[in-house]
Structure 1
């Protein structure tokens, strides 16, 4: 007995139709509703005629079974709904032949599994169970249409169609399976239709499809982000930290500003907005609030980049572009297959040219992009120029809706580029800024009202707001001095003598530091101002001690934890136990001539190099067989190796920066530590670099150019050659396909020094101590010592094992956090078919992937052609010579002598009947042109060439202009008329630059 439906079939139709209608725009929904079935047939015929006129006729008959099936289907269900909405995908795909073919083929496959509605209409149209199954078929049809709509509704869909369609094929195959299952249900007799079974099977099928889609999408996203080499968690952490610094109620005025509203909402206004202001005016806090609000609003695809001054050794434009692309990708997950297929899975390096080209494609297809760039003035001048140039070009990409907000101080470069663009100057927002500063001061002094009374605090607040001159930072600096006042008189006197402006505020703080602890204060500020990343408290604590010749860390020389607090409020403690300047302008001031300069750049790097060298020499104990493991654990536990991660990564960079300084100081003190560190080399310095093969042939020359400043010290120069070559070797694109353990093994094997062995030993001891319970510390130590060690080093104990990552010297709290992070670096090369078992497993080399694809997933172009057999000429039947006329009998005579052979052709030869036929076969057939046949041709109006297809003429005309696509490889200089030719040409460069290509060149030579 058939199970009765638990819900009316009309609800199934309504839900399916509503789901589709909600996914399309209102304009399209109205158009679909009013499109009669006859117009669909007419459109198909019209497109077929258009293709015939263009000379690229497609097989439009593939769609006929589908349309006939729908026509019969609509007659069956017209009682329950008004018919199926027909989608004009064909018009959209008409101009793109490959897309058009795939779409027609999809409709053909759907038609093959559609039930035969025509002959079932009379028998079963009134059966309720039968109508439920029809509803499931209806859901299948609309599910395909809804998902197809996402493809064709996207701007510039033709750029991404191939990759996106491949990722959709799994879902499409699932839809076909549902069709086939529901067809089988419909074709049964009515009494056997089990509606509950049909629904359960559909739910199960949908769940399996969604699970597989999520899994495949995760792979695409992971590999794309890994290719871009962006640990994007760092962006969100910094954004949250800065956003939390905002005082509640401040910065709201910007959303009422007409220029901001126009930039945000008006697609016809200028795509650029510049928010400028003096140092300390709160631009960064304003930017972070704008970013957060726009992300929460959700109307736009919002991306951002927060610049900072820790930029040495970075390609800043590439870093910015890659970071923005990752943010765009996380909001538009359907674009991940395109990046995966065209970039990530080809084992190509994310060069500036590739990233720039990808960015241009993304802004063409993603609607309503808003990018906020804060603090560009903190970057070097050359990078400011490059970034401004490229981002301004990006805002002008044809068809793009990309709008960019810059928030920064004025500078010569920035003014030159942005003057004349819509500008919000914070100087002109005096009323709004005073109100915001008043809110901040009121919150800061609220706790003092109980001690000094409301009247005095209200008066102090008004004085501070009036003197602030729009500078939040100035208020933060002077608040420290006000908190040290313990009487009303002290408070009034302190406010009356407040310095005017940031420079005077900084000068007062530095003068106070000189008077109290000059030498130690200078060393602390040197570490913060000239380090290559933000430093942690325990690192600076050790670095300050080691910044003297022959210095060592022990229980007598270790500083107390509060060693830095006398430098407040110029520096402050940040997240994860870090220390940094209160503002970038403070770092600028101590290094600028305005302050003296208070810190000399060359001396600072000299001091940091000396400190790192002293530490590295002290780490020899990790490879000294005479030192027991218990002794090493004790040294690590007592904090004598807290500088290890930083010194191991950057000791040579500080030495190189010191050598590059325009006026280096005397360096006799460096001779001894440089001589000691020579003992860490496995061979003579410089030999190891020659054993490391780099994929990029220009890298070795660039490294040598960097080391020219050390030419007067050959040993240090050769050390640098080994160090920089080894670092480049580990950060190559080929390394990103390896698991962390394999990569670490390569590091130990190829390192020209013992530094990798030392780091591995140190990491092992740290993990042992972290895993040790506090109540059972190592022998000879106290539980409190183990507890202090964990509290100090826990935030960054486990470093990332990929050399190019910033977290290589600034680790994670747990091994699990580290392992999760490293997943963004682990990028196996995957099979192109998501259904293949090797898709998830992947390959570690491009060769392995190519062999797999050649064996199991050959494309039609890669299929081997059939063996060639030469065409045989037709054999003509032998023609008998004409019978001789009878003649009178002649007497026998002796045979005539055979004449000698001559090369001359006789004037006449006997005609045996088949000579003319042979001549016809031997002579080439004359080709009759299309014009002579009366067919359409395409004439070039710039030359005499004629083409049979319009596409051929269009591509030919490109050769009459200047080539627009130059090759970016060094020493090439070629340019091309089409991007596909440029891509093919650059692939040849990449093949030649690869190890395999070099081997081929050597063999050919």
Structure 2
């Protein structure tokens, strides 16, 4: 009896790898009978599917698969030597029955999969006449193993396609992505089929060797090209979706970066939140704790905690999307913008979802209304799971909900309740929400199935975190403290006094440390006494700071401070330092001004206003803005008054631009003005001047060109100047893609 030929280790390893990958992909329930499934079972199952009453009208001619079954039969006899003593062989045909049974529910998908399997048959025909003489050749065995791997790869992709959630919904838009993978597999089969033909001919041994090397190069190149093409297409589709949504991610990136920068220098101050029992439960991949409310008063560090949770979850490879609401970016508090922000992050996660949204929404030119966005949000969450019959988990963090208008808060909570009320099923996505907001909140009281983490109840953890922060800030003052003869025990005593005074409020501790850093002391007792004498309430602290700022200023200077604070509070977007100084320069309404406001004016408000890492200016906390609008403020700012002043600045800036750049102004002076930053405000002015004018018209119930208001006088001058200047033709606006602003009716 002849000995069985030796089995190539490389070929066996190729088969084992392909088997293991498919075994990991298919769920235990779906693969339960694979080991005892014969090719005859698969043949009969195909005929049974054809004979199903529901399928008779559309799923005819299953005999198209008979050449495939015949080819698999001949191939199995040849490859059996490589599968001997293993469970590998039935997996060549067993998945076909499962895939066809699932796909027959959707005729279009069924036909495409049948077409793919039929194409495999073409590559298997040669095994019918192949001589056993070549089985012992190890290079030939490797080619057989590649056939096995390609067939199982085809099964794997077909199975993942029909088993992912929402595959019927996304079939039309996603099939193209899978078809490219299928075609690549079929091409690999064809090339290796040709290689077998060469290897079967003794006189073509040298040519077969050359062909084998070429195929190896082609496989690597084709895989790289396929990945590159898919990535490039997804990128283009994603950019088109962002354009359709009219959303600029840079705002959220800037917000996130500015918050994380506050804690980056003080590591370890947020670690306690991960040990909180309710937060820990929310982080687990369990349907428990679907909603968490992180509540706390102003300055307790809610936003910082949210950013650190996001960073931790991303490092742990958890899928988290987030949105931060802040007064600094007006758009961030709009309900539609919150939805757009979350949707864009969901779409980025999955190429199939990207293709679906692109074709079903962008190409169909659907309008991104709030209702359409809500529906899309539900659709994306329902179809995120791309692992067969497995639950996916997604976490959503929304910070600063209290900065949104009440009706928007209510609508968002209603949407969250709809998502979290859906039952957890295999193949579905479990979405868990964390909302950070101040209390009390009428909207959040209606959040169902929620757990509440109140920072008021976490004083011990907050005291420890604030203690770390204060210790680091005091370390930066070490030189001063040593000059006062203050040793470590007294430094610890000062630290404890500050921590106790802060009472769980990071913002208060920061204000105290800023106060200590900017004042002159002669002893440790003076420091402790000064800290003890500071007001306990934030509002009183702000009042004290403003008093120190204003006490030596004349009325004109006070008005200029009010102007600075008004710009920080109510600008349409954060202004960078040069933009800010240019805005201040044009705020009085003089288009002929030729000197930029000096930088030192910003230092006067330095305790309450800070420069962020992106060089934009902002209040140290939103509570500063709230205090300035309150009756207890010693320099009240009024929104409408500030907006009128901002409108004046935008129109004045444009008038100045027409005067300088639209005339025979000396070139050198133009360059000097631009170089000094005098016109740095021009981009903002161009973007928002119509918004200020329309808002003014809406408040005044129409534009009165005879109005004595400075804004109207300047607007009239701008219209006259623009009419008299030579301008390029304006491109026609596509009226079908946007709606007219209702406030335009106030213009006539």
Provide TM-score, normalisation by structure 2: 0.86
- Deviation string 1:752-803 (CA, Å, 9 cap, x unpaired) is xxxxxxxxxxxxxxxxxxxxxxxxxxxxxxxxxxxxxxxxxxxxxxxxxxxx
Q: Shift of residue 661 of structure 1?
A: 5.5
- Deviation string 1:639-683 (CA, Å, 9 cap, x unpaired) is 32122111222233334445556999x954345423321223438
1:116 match: secondary structure: helix
Q: Shift of residue 55 of structure 1?
A: 5.0
Report if aligned partners of 1:5, 1:196 keep a CA contact under 8 Å in 2.
no
How is 1:113-262 mapped onto 2 (pairs within 5 angstroms)?
113-120=123-130, 122-188=132-198, 189-191=200-202, 192-193=204-205, 194-195=208-209, 197-229=211-243, 230-246=247-263, 247-262=266-281
> What residue number does 1:823 align with?
none
Q: Shift of residue 403 of structure 1?
A: 1.6
Q: C-alpha distance in 2, partners of 1:404/1:314?
A: 18
Q: Shift of residue 520 of structure 1?
A: 2.0
Gaps of 5+ in 1: 709-716, 719-1005
Question: Quick check: 372-381 or 253-262, which moved more?
Answer: 253-262
Q: C-alpha distance in 1, partners of 2:719/2:398?
A: 44
Q: Shift of residue 152 of structure 1?
A: 2.8
- Deviation string 1:501-536 (CA, Å, 9 cap, x unpaired) is 222222212222221432221111011111100011
Q: Shift of residue 215 of structure 1?
A: 2.3
> What residue number does 2:89 align with?
83
2:540 match: secondary structure: helix
> What residue number does 1:67 align with?
69
Q: C-alpha distance in 2, partners of 1:53/1:99?
A: 14
Report if aligned partners of 1:5, 1:195 keep a CA contact under 8 Å in 2.
no
Aligned CA distance change for structure 1 residues 333 and 323 (closer, same or farther; 3 Å): same
> What residue number does 1:387 align with?
412
1:306 matched to 2:324? The reply is yes
Q: Shift of residue 196 of structure 1?
A: 5.6
Question: Quick check: 50-59 or 570-579, which moved more?
Answer: 50-59
How is 1:615-626 mapped onto 2 (pairs within 5 angstroms)?
615-626=653-664
> What residue number does 1:477 align with?
511
Q: Shift of residue 53 of structure 1?
A: 6.8
> What residue number does 1:430 align with?
459
Q: C-alpha distance in 2, partners of 1:663/1:107?
A: 69
2:292 match: secondary structure: strand
Q: Shift of residue 472 of structure 1?
A: 0.7
Indicate which of 535, 543, 559 corresponds to 1:499.
535
> What residue number does 1:487 align with?
522
1:649 matched to 2:687? The reply is yes
- Deviation string 1:192-248 (CA, Å, 9 cap, x unpaired) is 352463243143234224314422432233223322333335434432442232231
Report if aligned partners of 1:295, 1:302 keep a CA contact under 8 Å in 2.
yes
Report if aligned partners of 2:694, 2:743 keep a CA contact under 8 Å in 1.
no
Aligned CA distance change for structure 1 residues 419 and 588 (closer, same or farther; 3 Å): farther
- Deviation string 1:16-39 (CA, Å, 9 cap, x unpaired) is 333444555566666645644444
> What residue number does 1:600 align with?
638
Q: Shift of residue 255 of structure 1?
A: 2.2
Report if aligned partners of 1:506, 1:586 keep a CA contact under 8 Å in 2.
yes
CA RMSD, 1 decimal: 3.1
> What residue number does 1:564 align with?
602
Aligned CA distance change for structure 1 residues 442 and 172 (closer, same or farther; 3 Å): same
How is 1:684-763 mapped onto 2 (pairs within 5 angstroms)?
694-695=735-736, 699-700=739-740, 702-705=742-745, 708=746, 717=747
> What residue number does 2:389 align with?
none
Aligned CA distance change for structure 1 residues 415 and 173 (closer, same or farther; 3 Å): closer
Q: C-alpha distance in 2, partners of 1:54/1:253?
A: 63
Q: C-alpha distance in 2, partners of 1:432/1:604?
A: 41
Report if aligned partners of 2:49, 2:55 keep a CA contact under 8 Å in 1.
no
Which structure's relative contact order is higher, taking Cα pairs within 8 Å and 6+ residues apart?
Answer: 2
Question: Quick check: 611-620 or 568-577, which moved more?
Answer: 611-620
Report if aligned partners of 1:225, 1:326 keep a CA contact under 8 Å in 2.
no
1:675 matched to 2:716? The reply is yes
Q: Shift of residue 52 of structure 1?
A: 5.4
Q: C-alpha distance in 1, partners of 2:526/2:257?
A: 37
2:450 match: secondary structure: coil
> What residue number does 1:342 align with?
360
1:530 matched to 2:588? The reply is no
Provide TM-score, normalisation by structure 1: 0.65
Report if aligned partners of 1:115, 1:186 keep a CA contact under 8 Å in 2.
no
Q: C-alpha distance in 2, partners of 1:163/1:690?
A: 33
1:547 matched to 2:587? The reply is yes
Q: C-alpha distance in 1, partners of 2:308/2:698?
A: 40
Report if aligned partners of 1:546, 1:552 keep a CA contact under 8 Å in 2.
no
Report if aligned partners of 1:281, 1:426 keep a CA contact under 8 Å in 2.
yes
Indicate which of 407, 420, 438 corresponds to 1:409.
438
2:723 match: secondary structure: coil
Aligned CA distance change for structure 1 residues 63 and 353 (closer, same or farther; 3 Å): farther
Q: Shift of residue 438 of structure 1?
A: 1.1
Aligned CA distance change for structure 1 residues 551 and 100 (closer, same or farther; 3 Å): closer
1:275 matched to 2:294? The reply is yes
Q: Shift of residue 616 of structure 1?
A: 1.9
Q: C-alpha distance in 2, partners of 1:221/1:327?
A: 13
Q: Shift of residue 64 of structure 1?
A: 2.5
1:368 match: secondary structure: strand
> What residue number does 2:388 align with?
none
Q: C-alpha distance in 1, partners of 2:687/2:719?
A: 17
Q: Shift of residue 118 of structure 1?
A: 3.2
Indicate which of 474, 489, 494 corresponds to 1:460.
494
Q: C-alpha distance in 1, partners of 2:453/2:597?
A: 47
Indicate which of 353, 356, 362 corresponds to 2:380.
362
Aligned CA distance change for structure 1 residues 657 and 476 (closer, same or farther; 3 Å): farther
Aligned CA distance change for structure 1 residues 592 and 65 (closer, same or farther; 3 Å): farther
Q: Shift of residue 121 of structure 1?
A: 5.3
2:453 match: secondary structure: strand
- Deviation string 1:380-427 (CA, Å, 9 cap, x unpaired) is 223222222223323345654222111111254423422762111111
Q: C-alpha distance in 1, partners of 2:209/2:158?
A: 28
Report if aligned partners of 2:295, 2:455 keep a CA contact under 8 Å in 1.
yes
Question: Quick check: 464-473 or 216-225, which moved more?
Answer: 216-225
Aligned CA distance change for structure 1 residues 492 and 34 (closer, same or farther; 3 Å): farther
Q: Shift of residue 435 of structure 1?
A: 1.2
1:638 matched to 2:705? The reply is no
> What residue number does 1:418 align with?
447
Q: C-alpha distance in 2, partners of 1:337/1:692?
A: 28
Report if aligned partners of 1:274, 1:405 keep a CA contact under 8 Å in 2.
yes
Aligned CA distance change for structure 1 residues 669 and 325 (closer, same or farther; 3 Å): closer
